[in-house]
Amino acid sequence: MGIDKFDGKELEYLKEILASGQLSGQDSGFKGKVEAAFAEAYGVKHAIAGSAAMSLLIASMYAAGAGAGDEVICDPLVQFHAISAMWQNAHPTWADVCPDTWLMDPESARANITPQTKAICCTHLWGQPCEVDALRKVADDAGVVLIEDCAHAMFLPYKEKYVGTWGHIGVFSLCQGKHMTTGDGGIALTDDDELDRRIRSIIQFGESPPHLATVFRMTEMTAAVALAQLEKVKGYIEEYQRSYVVLEEVVSGCDWLQSRVIKPDCGNSPYIFSCLFRGDDQGIELEDFKQALFDTGEKFSIGFTQVPAYKYKLFTQPMAYQNKGCPLHNCPYYKGDYEYRDGLCPNSEQLLPRLVNVNCMVAEEDARRVADALRQAIAQVEGE
Amino acid sequence: MDDLSKLCQETSDRIMDIVDQLQPVGAPVVQQELAQRHGLEVELKQLVRYMEWLRSSFPRKLVHAGPDAWSVVDLG
């Protein structure tokens, strides 16, 4: 949960919609307005409003040409891209992350390019930017589409412009608990007319679509809240940046918690604050620290997904498709030989169980309380 | 009321078993099931905090399945 407030123009806009009687599918209404506002704010040609970031990722996979027998290079710390690829019957492969930033390593992405690859999907994890210029070069060299997952990365600068505008497509989430929320919702950005057309072609239809389309469009009510929130979100992010500094001060003062590196030219739109447990070297047990964090009463977590996505049964077993195998298991269209084996992404495997996370989308005063709790937990295990 | 202020393997297993059987399931249902199956009377707020912490568990862990909806994944 963030510090979002819905005390601006949200109600005024919603009343206007209800009075109009047109609640959805209005390019001339609030959906069109919010698309234009996002396109202008990001300086891109097209913004597409959808029902969720997931639905726009699924549409983006289609737009990228990913289908049966194709591969999509995904981030192993999250599972959203891989699931989106599978909705298009494509086969997820995995690029490892860098050990200091926990963001996709462009060289690992390059090493995973095959003749089957149709897209690379990177995550600007928890509000910090990938080396998205290097990833774009990998994608362009291979002739594949770079999809930026910007669900944690609203108005996040990388070098001279925002993430979401470096790749061919950028997808933002407006679901509950994101930098700005409409409950559920998403925005896709692109400068490419054809990608825009292809995404739009499968997120809405009437009685008979020319493609395998569905209804993934944004409603007028959602668009109205999004338009009102867009005016405020940069203010929220400024508050979260102050909160991040408060939490980072604690970690930088502890020699067995490793800070996450933010490289030069990289901004920070804090979402989850994360650091790495390195207490083993100093005789501090992870289980003891876990209990100490729990005792504080604050909402820390350790390990996030615990293991990379490719170790989840959703991917390792044929359950995702009614136990029928395709596209991941014995698929006749798949000509690759990719295996979901242990050690596939060693950095991800080492990092994940040791990540210490806490929500950073809080007011600065709340961050101070959480920081005190973290100090307390550190002192408790150091004193044992 | 029973106390969930300390992590306990037996309680963790009971919660994960309930979620495993009923998933996706909300915390209020888990609260009722803990009372019916094990005679544990717990505060909902404390239970939610405990369940949040079980997202850090391994090899079985709780995962969010939406706002106040929970599932289990087994990574073993």
CA-CA distance, A186 to A164, in Å (whole number)? Answer: 13
Q: Across the strands, what pairs with A123?
A: A149
Is residue A317 within 8 angstroms of chain B, CB to CB? no
Q: What is the pLDDT of residue A1?
A: 66
Beta-carbon separation of B75 and A297 below 8 A:
no
Specify the pLDDT at position A324: 82
pTM value > 0.90: yes
Q: Answer for the pair B25, B63: CB distance below 8 angstroms, yes or no.
A: no
Q: What is the pLDDT of residue A331?
A: 86
When the candidates are 1.20.1740.10, 3.40.50.300, 3.90.1150.10, 3.40.50.1370, the CATH number that belongs to A234-305+347-383 is 3.90.1150.10
Q: What is the residue whose two structure tokens read 């005190």?
A: A372
Does the structure show a pLDDT above 70 at B51? yes
* Residue B6 distance to chain A (closest CA, Å): 7
CATH topology for A10-232 is Aspartate Aminotransferase; domain 2 (3.40.640)
Identify which of B52, B53, B73 has the shortest CB distance to residue A312.
Answer: B73
Could you tell me if residue A123 is left (phi over 0), alpha (psi between -120 and 50 degrees) or otherwise beta? beta
Spatial distance between the Cα atoms of A172 and A189, rounded to a whole number of angstroms: 8
Touching check for A252 and chain B: CB below 8 Å? no
Interface contact B58-A306, CB threshold 8 A: yes
Contact assessment for residue A93 and residue A119, using Cβ atoms and an 8 Å cutoff: no
Count other Cβ atoms within 10 Å, centred on residue B67: 11
Domain with CATH 3.40.640.10 in chain A: 10-232
Rounded average pLDDT per 10-residue block, chain A, 384 residues? 86 96 86 97 98 98 96 97 95 97 98 98 98 98 98 98 98 96 97 97 87 93 97 95 98 96 96 97 93 93 95 87 80 89 96 96 97 97 86
Domains by residue range for chain B, with CATH: 9-74 (1.10.10.10)
Total CB pairs under 8 A between chain A and B:
34
Read off the pLDDT of each residue in B6-13 and give the average, rounded to a whole number. Answer: 93
Q: What is the pLDDT of residue A329?
A: 80
Pairing of strands A161-162, A257-258: unpaired
Indicate yes or no: CB of A176 within 8 angstroms of CB of B53. no
User: Using CA atoms, how far apart are residues A230 and B58, in angstroms rounded to an integer?
Assistant: 39
At A320 the pLDDT is: 82
Q: Do B49 and A307 touch (CB under 8 A)?
A: no
Residue B43 touches partner A, C-beta closer than 8 Å = no
B38 pLDDT band (50/70/90 cuts)? very high
Query: Which run of H or of E encompasses A287?
Result: helix A286-296
* Average of per-residue pLDDT across B70-75: 94
Q: Where in chain A is the domain with CATH 3.90.1150.10?
A: 234-305+347-383
Burial class (CB in 10 A: 0-12, 13-18, 19+), A235: exposed
